[in-house]
Amino acid sequence: MAGRDPHPSLLALTSSALLLPAYQQANADAPPEFTTLGMSYSRYQEDDTQAGRTLGGDSIERYEIDVAQFYLLTPVSDDWSVALDVQWEDMSGASPWFVGLDADGGSKVFMSGASIEDTRTTVSVNTRYYFDRGNAGFTYTRSDEDDYESDAVAFDGAYNSADGLTTWSAAVSASFDDIEPTQGVTPTNTLEDSKDVFGGYLGVSRIISKRAILRFGLSYTYRNGFLTDPYKLQDSRPSTRKEWAVSSGYRHFFTGPNAALHVDYRYFDDDWGIASHTVDLAWWQNLGRKTQLVPFLRYYTQDEADFFSNTPDFSERYFADDFRLSAFGGITTGLRVRHTVGNWTLNATGERYTTSEDFGIYSGDESPALVKYWRYSIGFNYSFR
Amino acid sequence: MRRLLGRLLIALALVTLAGCASEPVQPWERGTLAKNEMQWAPDPLEAVLRDHIHFSKEASTGGGGAAGGGCGCN
């Protein structure tokens, strides 16, 4: 399509990372009592690429994305529910195309020249059956973009112990994706290709006191097909990828301050040489009966892929200069406010994400294309009580 | 070394969970646990969006449920 030149980062933000619908709680064991709907609008804005980090020395605008979300969850009988999730995204901006050396031998990023424009629509439908000691669900998700289509299915279930203190959960998922890169000014690494993704998850959660609950999970993901970034100039990746993730979570309610502490941790490892640690902290402070103030903090650090380099060796079978495969650390700080009025709950969020090779615990070449962004969201939920 | 660390973390998590000295919390004592702010994802749309963005800008995913791909983000 003339004038359109989607790049990998565009594809990146158009992914459906989670197949589970938004409304599914990890410890859900009863059908909803009434219909609930929610809507949200978000604005995502990446910082401009710094002039000193680009070939040519110009400061260049990166992505800005508008996101609208909608969900509806409704009971259809005493033991069934149906849910619908829809997400629209409209994005524009420039994306890193490749990394090269300047006259002084420093690594600089070359951005895509024309502004990229694309939209994405994702629709997810879920049905869930509830029985005495658990539930089982099926989800179908369809995602459409100009150059990418995905069909995914997932089955999941949860089962409670007789005393209700422990919940075991499991899930399997499969995604079948087709990519047909938009042909524009820059060449692409394929004209048409596909990939499949299969995932599995096992988890257990346990009530450990009247005010605390703990969970643990293990997931495995297998990707097979065209995993190379179709739009990056210097990119050739293996056609399979095996990923493991170990996660844990903890919730504790403090009666004195009338607040809940959230602690989540994930360790990730794959056969591309990437490992990462993620820590999420949040403090849900109740202010009276209707308002909540939620400051949150996230720390992320990852190792680089075996084949990542700012100066790729093209004699090797695999190579990439994608910043997302580099070693770096990321810090997110944010604040969320929720206010309930009758059956309405209004919310607003602002967060800042910053990255640096210096923030990470792993060493490696620092990519000149690391991203920083602001994100703002407003939304509401309504319950038909 | 990394794989060793991963296995160590798995073992640690399992031992931690298995060894939790749980109180015998009766069903009628779980009101606090049922509060919205005690859920794993109290704001589902917010959680989905954050995961979506992180998945797009970082190299890691999974660990939180039935994650399954369905994307072209390499």
pLDDT at A4 over 90: no
CATH for the stretch A8-383: 2.40.160.40
Total domain count, chain B = 1
Considering only CB atoms, B71 lies closest to which of A16, A199, A269, namely A16
* Contact criterion met (CB < 8 Å) for B37 and A284: yes
A232 in Cβ contact with A219 (< 8 Å): no
B residues 14-43 lying closer than 8 A (beta carbon) to A: 14, 16-17, 20-25, 27, 29-30, 32-33, 35, 37-43
Q: Residue A153: what residue type?
A: V
CA–CA separation, A180 vs A160, rounded Å? 44
ipTM here:
0.89
Average pLDDT value for chain A:
88
> What pLDDT was estimated at residue A207?
94
A373 in Cβ contact with A45 (< 8 Å): yes
A residues 111-150 lying closer than 8 A (beta carbon) to B: 139, 141, 143, 147-148, 150
pLDDT at A18 over 70: no
Q: Which residues of A touch B39 (CB under 8 A)?
A: 25-27, 251
Residue B68 within any structural domain of the chain: no
pLDDT digits (tens, 9 = 90+) for A120-155: 999 999 999 999 899 999 999 999 988 899 999 999
> Helices (DSSP H) in chain A: which residue ranges?
8-12
pLDDT class of B70 with cuts at 50, 70, 90: low
> What pLDDT was estimated at residue B3?
56
Tabulate helix, strand, coil % of chain A (nearest 5).
5, 60, 35
Q: Residue A342, SS3?
A: coil
pLDDT class of B6 with cuts at 50, 70, 90: low
B47-53 — which CB contacts under 8 Å span 24+ positions? B47/A22, B48/A18, B48/A22, B48/A69, B48/A85, B48/A87, B49/A40, B49/A42, B49/A67, B49/A69, B49/A377, B51/A17, B51/A18, B52/A13, B52/A15, B52/A16, B52/A17, B52/A18, B53/A13, B53/A44, B53/A353, B53/A373, B53/A375
The whole-angstrom distance between A102's CA and the closest CA on chain B is 25
Q: Which of B19 and A382 is assigned the larger pLDDT? A: A382
Give residue B48's domain range.
29-57
pLDDT digits (tens, 9 = 90+) for B19-68: 555 668 888 899 999 999 999 999 989 998 998 899 889 999 877 665 44
pLDDT at A283 over 80: yes
The residue assigned the tokens 């407003």 is A378
% of residues, chain A, pLDDT over 90? 69
Residue B46 within any structural domain of the chain: yes
> What pLDDT was estimated at residue B20?
55
The average pLDDT across A289-313 equals 95
pLDDT at A264 over 60: yes
Q: Count of CB atoms within 10 A of residue A373's CB?
A: 20
Q: Which tokens in the block code for residue A153?
A: 């299915």
Residue B67 within any structural domain of the chain: no
> So where are chain A's domains?
8-383
E strand residue ranges, A50-114: 64-75, 80-93, 96-101, 107-111
pLDDT at A11 over 50: no
pLDDT digits (tens, 9 = 90+) for A152-199: 999 999 999 998 899 999 999 999 999 988 887 778 888 899 999 999
The whole-angstrom distance between B39's CA and the closest CA on chain A is 7
